[in-house]
Amino acid sequence: MATIEDFQRLDIRSGTITACEPLPGARKPAYRMTVDFGPDIGVKHTSAQITALYTPEQLIGRQVLGVVNFTPRLIAGFASEVLVLGVYAQEGVVLVMPDRPVPNGLKLG
């Protein structure tokens, strides 16, 4: 079972998607995204299998929550630096987003 200390080791921050495009070569359809996590964390790149419910145009400008302290993973030759959070719904992955605009880089608590 996970402990509160396990949760506290995750650095989950708010960020804004600034660029999004299909990720060629991914085993499952995915996007390559650029996310601005504010001045302390900076701009990071990630991939996400969220093509069933979102187009790139719908994603640019949206705020999301992401784990920013994972080791980068190489996905289809692309270094994914953060994990954008979502929930698995029957129709596809639904992003976890703040319900109102917040500054980029705020820590989930």
Token look-up 């419910």 returns 53
Dihedral of CA atoms 95, 24, 74, 20 in degrees, nearest 10, equals -40
pTM of this structure: 0.94
pLDDT at position 109, please?
84
Helix (H) or strand (E) holding 44: strand 43-48
* Confidence class for position 101, pLDDT limits 50, 70, 90: very high
Partners of 94 in the beta sheet? 87
Terminal Cα-to-Cα distance of the chain (whole angstroms): 20
Dump pLDDT digits (tens) for 13-40. 999 999 999 999 999 999 999 999 999 9
How crowded is residue 30: how many other Cβ atoms within 10 Å of its Cβ?
A: 21
* Assigned architecture for domain 4-95: Beta Barrel (2.40)
Over range 58-72, report the average pLDDT: 97
